[in-house]
């Protein structure tokens, strides 16, 4: 716990330093418009990063989130505009139907949770590796999204019939963007789940040593599967926000490499890829730092093609820091103790 607190403190100090440097290089960084825009992005990225962080705490990984955004965005747009769409087989029964927006939202979130449950089933029951399962999902969901949309962008037009939903997703509360407000609410809930509930203790125990947790009476399969369902649920919420933020969904481009942002935020925030360690506060700080770094790249006029290099460097530094801290915490062997 102390090591995790030190990580969060160090990350917070680093965040303050980066913000100060960015503000000095560009006073526009602290302008109201930029702060609002950054908080909106932090909200959307932070929501699905929490889900990815929970999966990583169990020692798993989810590479399919970006493709899920494309598939769920296409499904949402087609459901909201069902009366104007011609659905391909085997979805032809939807042709010409008009659906209310609550059903469309519920179906989208339900589909995200169902995909997460599918991942959990394959990982816990069929005993497939999380990397393989979610890598296949990355390819499968992207291809399915392109097929359903027939490789055309799906937009929301004038949002006729679902103006409230669009205004809610793109709205604000006392000037604070709705995605950021939702992130704060979800963060509070997930903080209690991870750090103050029996489920959270079991989750950390499974991540540290799944076999020992199973022998102690913990239903490890249910715990692991639950994290993938949660990841799919939060990905669906974030996917809806992303879809309305851009006002259209491109089945071939939407969500590309977004899973890397989530993984980088979680790792940077102290979630160990070995499992058994992580915090909600750390994930949020990692998300904020990552978005500030992206802003810094733009301010310094660094080519956008280097964004992925920044992602790779962040993940590498996070893993190196985790390795160094892990080595320092390892107990001394009896031989080492005798030598001392």
pLDDT value of residue 130: 94
Answer yes or no: is 336 within a domain.
Answer: no
* Residue ranges in the chain whose pLDDT is less than 70: 1-4, 83-99, 159, 311, 318, 322, 325-340
Q: Domain holding 206: CATH number?
A: 1.10.3470
Q: How far is CA 253 from CA 145, 153, 209, 246, 305, in A?
A: 10, 10, 38, 12, 16
| Residue pLDDT, tens place only, 210-228 | 999 999 899 999 999 999 9
pLDDT value of residue 312: 76
Answer yes or no: is 31 within a domain.
Answer: no
pLDDT value of residue 233: 96
Please check whether residue 38 is in contact with residue 295, taking contact to mean a CB–CB distance below 8 angstroms: yes
Answer yes or no: is 339 within a domain.
Answer: no
| Residue pLDDT, tens place only, 53-86 | 999 999 999 999 999 999 999 999 888 887 555 5
pLDDT value of residue 123: 95
Q: What is the dihedral of CA 239, 242, 247, 252, to 10 degrees?
A: -70
Answer yes or no: is 332 within a domain.
Answer: no
pLDDT value of residue 12: 86
Domain residue limits at 84: 2-14+40-325
- Report how far residue 257's alpha carbon sits from residue 310's, in angstroms, rounded to the nearest whole number: 13
Answer yes or no: is 189 within a domain.
Answer: yes
Answer yes or no: is 257 within a domain.
Answer: yes
Please check whether residue 182 is in contact with residue 244, taking contact to mean a CB–CB distance below 8 angstroms: no
pLDDT value of residue 83: 56
Answer yes or no: is 276 within a domain.
Answer: yes
Answer yes or no: is 187 within a domain.
Answer: yes
Q: What is the Cβ-side half-sphere exposure of residue 63, based on CA atoms within 13 angstroms?
A: 12
pLDDT value of residue 335: 41
- Report how far residue 261's alpha carbon sits from residue 46's, in angstroms, rounded to the nearest whole number: 10
Three-state secondary structure call for residue 68: helix
pLDDT value of residue 90: 61
Q: How many residues does the chain have?
A: 340
DSSP lists the bridge partners of residue 172 as: 177
Three-state secondary structure call for residue 30: helix
Residue of 191, 193, 192, 219 lying closest to 205 (CA atoms): 219
Q: In terms of pTM, does the model score above 0.85?
A: yes
Count structural domains, the chain. Answer: 1
Q: What is the DSSP string of 205-254?
A: HHHH-HHHHHHTT--HHHHHHHHHHHHHHHHHHHHHHHHHHHTEE-TTTT
Q: Which two tokens stand for residue 113?
A: 């949770």
């Amino acid at each position: 716990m102390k090591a995790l607190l030190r990580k969060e403190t160090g990350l917070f100090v680093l965040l303050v330093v980066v913000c100060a440097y960015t503000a000095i290089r560009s006073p526009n960084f602290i302008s109201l418009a930029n702060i609002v825009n950054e908080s909106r992005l932090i909200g959307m990225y932070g929501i699905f990063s929490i889900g990815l962080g929970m999966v990583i705490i169990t020692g798993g990984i989810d590479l399919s989130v970006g493709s899920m955004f494309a598939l769920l965005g296409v499904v949402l747009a087609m459901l909201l505009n069902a009366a104007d769409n011609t659905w391909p087989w085997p979805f032809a029964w939807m042709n010409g139907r008009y659906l209310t927006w609550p059903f469309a939202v519920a179906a989208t979130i339900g589909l995200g949770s169902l995909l997460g449950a599918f991942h959990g089933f394959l990982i816990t029951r069929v005993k497939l590796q999380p990397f393989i399962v979610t890598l296949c999902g990355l390819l499968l969901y992207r291809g399915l999204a392109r097929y359903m949309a027939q490789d055309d962008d799906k937009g929301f037009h004038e949002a006729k019939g679902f103006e409230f939903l669009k205004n809610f997703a793109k709205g604000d509360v006392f000037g604070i963007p709705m995605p950021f407000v939702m992130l704060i609410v979800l963060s509070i809930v997930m903080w209690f789940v991870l750090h103050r509930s029996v489920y959270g203790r079991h989750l950390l125990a499974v991540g540290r040593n799944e076999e020992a947790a199973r022998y102690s009476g913990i239903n490890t399969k249910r715990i692991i599967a639950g994290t993938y369902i949660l990841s799919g649920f939060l990905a669906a919420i974030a996917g809806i926000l992303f879809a309305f933020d851009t006002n259209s969904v491109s089945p071939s481009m939407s969500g590309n490499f977004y899973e890397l942002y989530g993984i980088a935020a979680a790792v940077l925030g102290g979630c160990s890829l070995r499992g058994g360690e992580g915090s909600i506060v750390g994930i949020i700080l990692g998300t904020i730092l990552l978005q500030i770094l992206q802003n810094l790249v733009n301010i310094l006029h660094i080519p956008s093609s280097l964004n992925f290099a920044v992602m790779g460097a962040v993940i590498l530094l996070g893993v190196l820091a985790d390795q160094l801290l892990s080595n320092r915490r390892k107990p001394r062997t009896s031989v080492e103790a005798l030598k001392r």
